[in-house]
Chains A and B, each alone.
Chain A
């Protein structure tokens, strides 16, 4: 069920109506039922996969919780009799049992994700090697990826690990856990919520708060504006360039870099706006996933502000655990001996960074372009880190760091760098991507683009003007956001003015949206991850 389909809009309205019509104690059950209907719409068989993940996570966390309680009670009851060492030993034994449960469940659910998402990728690579040695090939599996599997697997993994880490107790009601796992607005493209955050508001009860519903609706409209007016219009030009590599190289690849970055931003943030807006209408707070990422002055800052919930997930559940693991501490010790303190202490950090970015890349998609994309991000981060002394020296001798121009340069540099790396996402072929990006420097066809090329990309002059105006509006709203909520600012202008602003926004979406006949309505880009 596409977010941009009439069916989905009707589905949300109906759910909302039921949600606030029934007694409050039933609210979360209505959401669960709606989430199941939403999920089943993608295929009944898909329900099996998510159900298996829910059930396995539920039983593992309940057992972990029982072991934790047992430990606590035992220690409490035998506090006087046990020495400190005995208490520690008992805790260690119990923790080991919990770890076995946690790791088993983790591997089981990761295994489902791996089989579903990476089997054909693995077969493809084996086949390529087999072809090199002129051996036979393996047939691909005919399996369809269950809806949102990457997102709900990660969400349940974080829940499982957090229960193991005793950050919060396990949820005793399997149906409530099922709602956390399958909450329909966020299942297909995130944000990747944490149980301790989402559970605060997910289960209600919620009064019908007109202001919250209006704010949610406004956020949804803004999301639709970005998705339908900008992203789904830009995709026409983006696809034209990607699908005609013979005709569109050189400056067109540079144009692709820029356009795809804008498209991805409008698409993904638009989708998240819709998600957060829907949740808000139900009185539920979902974590923000973006913080004006294109205003970032470095790639590290960019990743703190882009797809925040994914970034923190990898940081909390991959980067930190690896960094402080026993083998890494050992590596740190050894590398300090060999490379000296300064460089040696960075080796385990870089190793953890490498693993994290490799995982980030492959999480985005089962193909080499995503892996290379992740590793290029890793490379840029490590190089930036290594250049830190140089930057410090530079800023000391050339104190322009705080000037507006230098900040603008940093923002532009980060944007271009991220855009260049993202071209891997466009061509989906590592060799072709490097070849095409190379033509930016070897093929000089700017005049071709300016004279006739721009009009051959499937957009009219009116489309370009509209896109320019729409992007300008998004930029202006982002600037306004820096000093607080734009919706609250509009609200302060009075109900009539606010109404007119959002009414015009609604009409703009209806008129200028790239949907319906003549347009190939697109899935959200992040749905595929």
Chain B
């Protein structure tokens, strides 16, 4: 018995030390490259009950504001997005989300169709490390790994991040076990203004056809939505760059028609949304700033409510306190960022 206790103690020490060191060395993404922490933030939501679930890359997490959707229409929403999130990662994140809730509407930004193969290990990490362990995560990793990546480094991220031992800061200690959130239901707020001066035209491509693998995952997403009585909506955010080709748009329009889906290319209705590219973008048109995101969300919210008759939860006491807290935090951060921007000038 004594021997057994000793063995258990030894194993516990080893496991504890290993995971302690691993937690310490994993990047926290709290003061820079905030995108890296966004996937994990979802699990910290107290109430996982959203009408609308956005799952895509920066086209959604920088351009749509769930707080505006709440304030203007009482729509509860969440964005599960990370930088250069690939379409299969979005698919597996949808699968992962369905383990926690069943939203009424699923929004996917079709710019995700542009990549038919894994692009970068660091972006993979930002999309996958934050996912909770399940068979879904393993499938997501398998689909995303570049040839020189190894599954074991995802299973034990210490094997990937060990070299950070000489880059550790107080932030790593502070967030070793506890993480706070940096986004507002997945929306990453930016308050800077960098107007569009010129829109570079897209370079000529040898082939405009989206990769088969992208269609395969898009089909899977739509099928999964249908299985779960979720309405899929395809959007193209009004980002001016990366360039959205007419040929791409036609493919998505055809796809939406074939599958009887709503597809909105916000580039076509940018004027109607009220977006002003001289004030509503923080990086010359690649992404919207908070002013642009609020305008776009107000416009999109109306479409969602008019088309799908989503319930207005603003008077529902089950939601009020939770969302008021989010709204307060949102405006506090907005004021802080605006003050920072003003200080810069």
Contacts and interface: CB of A to CB of B under 8 A. Distances in A.
B47 interface: no
Interface of A: 6, 460, 462-463, 466, 495-496, 499-500, 503, 507, 510-519
B206 interface: no
9 contacts: A463-B166, A466-B166, A511-B21, A511-B25, A511-B165, A512-B162, A513-B162, A515-B162, A517-B163
Nearest to B13: A503
Given A507-B21, A510-B159, A462 B166 contact: yes
B164 to A, nearest CB: 9
Interface in B1-30: 6, 10, 13-14, 17-18, 21, 25
B150 interface: yes
Nearest to A509: B162
Contacts of A511: 21, 25, 158, 162, 165
B153 interface: yes
Given A503-B14, A518-B163, A519-B163, A510 B121 contact: no
A8 to B, nearest CB: 12
A460 B168 CA distance: 14
A6 B152 contact: yes
Top 5 A-B residue pairs of the complex, sorted by shortest distance between their CB atoms: A462-B166, A511-B162, A6-B152, A511-B165, A518-B163
Contacts of A496: 6, 10
Contacts of A512: 162, 165
Given A6-B150, A507-B18, A499 B10 contact: yes
B160 interface: yes
Contacts of B17: 503, 507
Interface in B138-170: 150, 152-153, 158-160, 162-163, 165-166
A516 B160 contact: yes
Interface of B: 6, 10, 13-14, 17-18, 21, 25, 121, 150, 152-153, 158-160, 162-163, 165-166
Nearest to A503: B14
A460 B10 CA distance: 35
Max chain B Cβ within 10 angstroms of own Cβ: one of A463, A507, A513, A517: A517
Contacts of B152: 6
Contacts of B14: 503
Nearest to B153: A516
B162 A510 contact: yes
Contacts of B153: 516
Contact of A517 (B18, B21, B158, B160): B160
Max chain A Cβ within 10 angstroms of own Cβ: one of B121, B152, B162: B162
Nearest to B164: A511
Contacts of A499: 10
A512 B13 CA distance: 20
Given A496-B6, A503-B13, 10 more contacts: A503-B14, A507-B17, A510-B18, A510-B162, A513-B162, A514-B163, A516-B153, A516-B162, A517-B163, A519-B163
A101 to B, nearest CB: 49
B163 A510 contact: no
Nearest to B17: A507
A499 to B, nearest CB: 6
B159 A516 contact: yes
Nearest to B24: A511
B156 to A, nearest CB: 9
Nearest to A9: B152
A496 B244 CA distance: 63
B118 to A, nearest CB: 15
A251 B13 CA distance: 47
A503 B152 CA distance: 20
Contacts of A513: 162
A521 to B, nearest CB: 11
A397 to B, nearest CB: 53
B150 A460 contact: no
Contacts of B21: 507, 510-511
Contacts of A495: 6
A208 B242 CA distance: 62
Contacts of A516: 153, 159-160, 162-163
A385 B160 CA distance: 53
Contacts of B165: 462, 511-512
A512 B162 CA distance: 7
A511 B26 CA distance: 11
B7 to A, nearest CB: 10
Contacts of B6: 495-496
Contacts of A515: 162
A464 to B, nearest CB: 11
Contacts of B150: 6
B211 to A, nearest CB: 26
Max chain B Cβ within 10 angstroms of own Cβ: one of A460, A462, A499: A499
Nearest to A465: B166
Contacts of B13: 500, 503
B87 to A, nearest CB: 24
Contacts of A514: 163
Contacts of A466: 166
A124 to B, nearest CB: 33
A466 B10 CA distance: 27
A502 to B, nearest CB: 10
A6 B13 CA distance: 23
